[in-house]
Every structure is written in structure tokens, then in C-alpha cells.
A and B are shown apart, each in its own frame.
Chain A
Amino acid sequence: MASKKTNENEVTPENSNSRRDFIKKSGLFTALALTPSTLVVASENKWDEKIAEYLETVPLSIEVNGKKHNLNIEPRTTLLDLLREQLQLTGTKKGCDHGQCGACTVHVNGTRILSCLSLATMQQNAQVTTIEGLSKGKKLHPMQEAFIKNDGFQCGYCTPGQIMSGIACIKEGHANSREEIKEYMSGNICRCGAYHNIVDAITEVKEGGKEL
């Protein structure tokens, strides 16, 4: 086993006690707490917060809509929250936050997934495409145009997820009939019930035969 690799996130039996456990055990926090002068200096300089932050976050390199980001994130950050809260890409919607609606659908390395059930830290070096990444300058993506033309929405809340899912549905080869489109789009709920027009839009793009 490659136990001498330097990646500190790798598990080897020797380091399976984590850095955080180690520091806890070695009593750094206790030392800070027991030394009033250190504590005062530390809090004045926000050291304690910085140490805590350093320990609680992990580095993440991720490419979103063609742009590379090097970030430090909490392991509990979902890809959805990373996109919306940290990268200000609010096109991707939070509907249920529990995998039940599809509003948060994005493409990761070309595959449609639910960003609300994906931990961002598990998408190391991934290429993510969101609704913001579809248009070329002012030119909308064919699926965006088809949704407008066919009235594929009412309130529009589910629409970014529907569009991301619709593109993938065609690319996967699951848009060969209205029935098939309905089945493979069932992971995207539309509270306004625009389903019929959504299927129209996807059918039109599929029949248009354009490279997506």
C-alpha cells in the first residue's frame, strides 16, 4: 500500500487517527484555554477562530462552467450550497434539499446529478456545468430557446433543473418517444404542472438534431 504518499486526506492505518483527533489529543485547545495571555492575544488576532477554521475545512479544486476555483470548504458543504452560497451561482435552485424534486440538477463531468445530495468535497477536480454555463455569450442554448418557445414553465423555479436534465436526457439517448422522455424526466418535479410543454420542448430539441 502506498503509505508514504503525502496526501493527508488519504487513509492509511498509520494515520487513520486524523489530524483533528491528534490536535485535540495533544491538547492545543486546552493549552490555549489555560494560558490567559495567549488566549487574549489569540482572540485579539482571531487566532482561535483561524485555527478552528483551518481544522474544520478542506481544500477543494473544482471547475465550474469552465472556471477553475481553489477553495477551502467545510466537508458538510453540499455542491448545491457551494454553487449558491459561495460561488453566487444562484441559477441552480434548492427545492427540497433531499433528492425529491430535481430542482438542483447539474452536470458533473457530463452526467446529470442532484447537487443537494452531493458533498462538494467529493467532487475534487470535477467539471461542473450549471444553467449559467449553457449560453454562449448572448446566444442561448437550444434547450433554453425551446423552453421559451414551448412555454415549458410557469413560475420558472423548476426550470434550471428541467433544462439541465432535458439536455442530459437527450444525450443519454432516452428521448426517443414522449413516454420515454416522461419516464427519464420523472426526477424533475414541476409544481406548476408544465409537464406537457416541457416534453414538447425536449422533443423539439431532440428532433432538431443539433449537437448539444
Chain B
Amino acid sequence: MTTAAVRQANYREAINEALRGEIERDPDVFLAGEDVAGHEGSFGASAGLLAAFGPERVVDTPISESGIIGMAVGAAATGLRPVVEVMFIDFIGVCMDQVLNQLAKMKYMFGGKARLPVVVRTTCGAGVRVAAQHSQSLEAMLCHIPGLKVVMPATPYDAKGLLISAIRDDNPVVFIEHKLLYRIQGEVPEEPYTLPLGVAEVRRPGTDLTIVSWSAMVHEALAAADELAQRGIHAEVIDLRTLSPLDAHTVLTSVHKTHRVVVAHEAVKFGGFGGEVAALIAEEAIDYLDAPVVRVGAPFSPVPFSPVLEDAWLPNRRQIVEAALRTMPARTGA
């Protein structure tokens, strides 16, 4: 950084700035979704945009998720650059055909002749006591669909840079914002900047083991790394940032160095994206491993409502620490 003090902003403001900048820069960009205009978004991410750009660029839609994604597909295929919002990722169930059979496949099915520059912004995550249909982390399901890119930023800085890149990208990108991150603060330069999709970030360098994570769980991983450091264990924390395409290089480079891996995510562990990361390491770096890869993820149930149950469901730093210790030779655990 050349400037002495980089401006601080929160994740919500970072998203807002990216949207504002891109709508202003490119007349083909528009934002559409339920209550994104007049109400400025369920989490306030589109604050001020209707006032600045008017109802043709910032569009309140009916409650019609299939229609919203479908109109984005049609508008993109005919030359515009839509950013559409699905209020909670859980509601993607309502419009899954448009996401999986239309948006993701059109370019390929048409022999490469279509261009689908669509960003689907949505929110994920538990911890706010809104139960099974408003709390899920469904990234693995989306990563399983060729044709989609899947981005899950963990910091305000990344949220802004990655969203700008996602909007400028000519492919469909599902951009997943964790609802507990909107208020976290961080350095966010005022000017627009891009961060490449498909490139992970080493959040904390370390030598003894690698913790791979993304979205809100990155912050749990960093807290776990602090605890481990007190026990003399130096964990390297990798934030994938983009799950699809996956930055195998950064993960493998770290494994070559540390020989031990924990993969931590909030989503249900079984069938989760952690399995993909573990499989990558098994295929490409098994000879480097000194211990089995350990995954941390939620138990195999829907997200329960009752706070005691939801807290028991949510993966946390303690589980990451325990998982890390399991990968270590016994003497370091004592």
C-alpha cells in the first residue's frame, strides 16, 4: 500500500461501492431483485442506488425467483450485463431450473456462441435464528454445476474487488455473501479495483499445518490459528475466495510445505465442498501428507431454529483446533 492510511469500510459498504461503480461505469449493467430498489436490499447492500440510477437500472421485481434468473439469462444472452439478487440462497430452490439448465449451460449447448455475463448475488449462512429455510450454505451444490463460477468473499476488501470482477466476467457467477459478515470492517480503497476470480489468498502464513476455508469460516480458522500458535503450532490459513474455479496451486503449494491439512466450512460436512479439496490433495499430494486430511463442517441435519440447537450445529474455532490437533503428532497436543 502506498497510501499511509487506507480507508475503512464494512462488507456491506464494499458490496454497495462495487455495485455503484459498475452500474455507473457500464450502461449495460443493471441490478434487479426483490426489494433491492425502494427498500435498498434486505441487508442494505443497494443503499442509495435507486436514487442514483433510477428504476431502469435498479429494479424491484415481483416475488418470482424463476422469473428473475430467467430474465437475467435472456437479458445477458441479448447483450446486457445483469446483476440479480436471490435474497437468501435457500430460495435458489425456487429457480433451480433457470440456474442449472439455462444459465449454466447455454453457452456450451450453443457451441460457445452465447455469452452469459450474469452475477447472481445471494446470501448464505446460519447463526441468526431464522431456521431451516433461511440459513443454508449450498455452495457445494452450485460448484457441482459446470458453467457456473462460485465466489464467497470473507472480507470487505475481497467483497469489493471480487464483485467488480464478477460483474466484468463474461460467465455466470454466483456471488455468495455471508449474512454475518455485512458488518465486519476492513480496509477498502475508495477507488474501483479488481481481484482475479479463481485465486486463493494465504491469510496467515504458517509451517505446521494448512487450514483451508472460505467465507465466514475463514474468521473462525484465523481464530483457531491464534489458539494453535499459543500451543506452538503454526497454522497457515488459506481463504479460497473462489470455489469454482478452484485455486489448486495455492492449496497444493501449502500442503507441500506443511504436510497436514484441515478443511473447514460452515456447510454440512457430508457431500460438502471440503470433500473436493480433500480429494484434490489425495490425488495430487498424497505423498506429502503426514496425516489424513481432516474436515470440519456442520452435522448432517437441516439448520434448527432453537438457539441451543443452532449453536450446537454451527462449526466453530474449537472444532478447527481439535481437528488440527488430530493431524499433529501426539507430543504437540500435550
Does B bind A?
Answer: no
Q: Which residues of A contact B (CB under 8 A)?
A: none
Q: Which residues of B contact A (CB under 8 A)?
A: none
